[in-house]
Amino acid sequence: MRVPADRAALATVTLLAAVFALFFLLPFAGLIDRAIADGETWSLLRTRQVREALVLSFWAATLASVLAGVLGTPGAYLLARGHFPGRAIADALIDLPIVLPPTVAGVALLTAFGRRGLVGEPIEAWTGFTFGFRTTAVVMAQLLVAAPFYVRAAKSGFDAVDPQLERVAYTLGASRVRTFARITVPQAWPALVAGTVLCWSRAMGELGATLIFAGNLEGRTQTMPLAVISAFEGSSLGLPGAVALSLILLVAALVVLAAFRLAARNGARS
């Protein structure tokens, strides 16, 4: 026997949950509905602009993720294991780009690496190289905004590795390098993979910092999210183009989520 008050509460909870679920599902349903109604999605996807945006986004995000791994892993390990002055501050600062609006990150990049930026200006004076408004800038913007997701995840992963395992490896004659490669990284592997996936997804979706630091140049700096913006602002793609691009990003996101879940489950089993 259920108490009437509980029955009412259960009904309310169910209703709220249903409203919430609808709110989340309807936009995607709308997107798919529109793509079918337009009927030109498939041909739009094969236009040069979309193809270039897709290729650029994919490679830039992948490169940014690799760089995040190469540059971020040592830092994450130091944050997890090291004892150095300012560690707590460094740990807090990692989250800054996560909290900061990406447009601010873009402006900050510009002031540092732009043609008149802090290091951008001397570098151009010496070498003639400029960072801004080229593909390099896309990767840099994505790296700044997305890498903290990797570092954060990797640090938690290293935190969770029992230091005693490393100590025992030392007593078994393993050098610190060998211990890191054979014990620490494999132990933290699921977290490192999760961090990479998060980083890659965030890089794929990067808009604000890229727009300000790299600009919106077709074929050079125009990633998928930028192409969506352009489509709205009257590029040849139009609204159907925006829908088509959004659909691709949606599918990519779903694939990443599914792969992520699968990897996490396999990781838990082994």
Partner 1 sequence: MSIEFEAERRLGGFRYSAGLAAKNELVVLFGHSGAGKSLTLQFISGLMRPDRGRIAIAGETVFDSAGGINLPPQHRRTGYVVQELALFDHLSVAENVAFGMPRERDRRRRVAELLGLLDLAGFEARRPRTLSGGQRQRVALARALAREAPVLLLDEPFSALDDTLRNGMRRELLRLRSELGLTILFVTHDLREAHFLADRVAVFDAGRILQDGSREEVFRRPATRRVAELTGVANILEGRVAGFEQGHPVVEVAGVALRCAPPVGRIPRTGDVVDLAIRAERVVLRRGAEGGDQPNQFSAVTAEQFAFGSTHTLRLEPAGAGPSVEVELAARPYEVLQGRRGGSGSSNSRPGTFMSCRATWTRPRRAPATPRATAAGAPRA
Site residues for partner 1 per CB under 8 A? 162, 164-165, 167-175, 182-183, 186-187, 189, 270
Q: Which is nearer to partner 1, 183 or 211 (CB)?
A: 183
Residue 155 CA to residue 195 CA, distance in Å, equals 10
Place of tokens 């309807």: 26
Q: In a 10 Å sphere around its CB, with 0-12 CB exposed, 13-18 middle and 19+ buried, how is residue 260 labelled?
A: middle
First to last CA, the chain: 44
For the bound state, the minimum distance from the C-beta of residue 165 to partner 1, rounded and expressed in Å, comes to: 5
Q: Which is nearer to partner 1, 178 or 261 (CB)?
A: 178
Q: Which is nearer to partner 1, 186 or 219 (CB)?
A: 186
For the bound state, the minimum distance from the C-beta of residue 172 to partner 1, rounded and expressed in Å, comes to: 3
Q: Which is nearer to partner 1, 95 or 162 (CB)?
A: 162
For the bound state, the minimum distance from the C-beta of residue 193 to partner 1, rounded and expressed in Å, comes to: 14
For the bound state, the minimum distance from the C-beta of residue 196 to partner 1, rounded and expressed in Å, comes to: 18
Q: What are the φ/ψ torsions at residue 108 (nearest 5 degrees)?
A: -60, -45
For the bound state, the minimum distance from the C-beta of residue 46 to partner 1, rounded and expressed in Å, comes to: 45
- 3-state secondary structure (DSSP) of residue 115: coil
Q: Which of 244, 260, 263, 269 lies closest to 36 in space, CA to CA?
A: 244
The residues, any chain, with a CB within 8 Å of residue 221's CB and separated by 6 or more, are 56, 133, 134, 135, 137, 138, 210, 214, 215
Is 132 in contact with 110 (CB distance < 8 Å)?
Answer: yes
Q: Which is nearer to partner 1, 104 or 193 (CB)?
A: 193
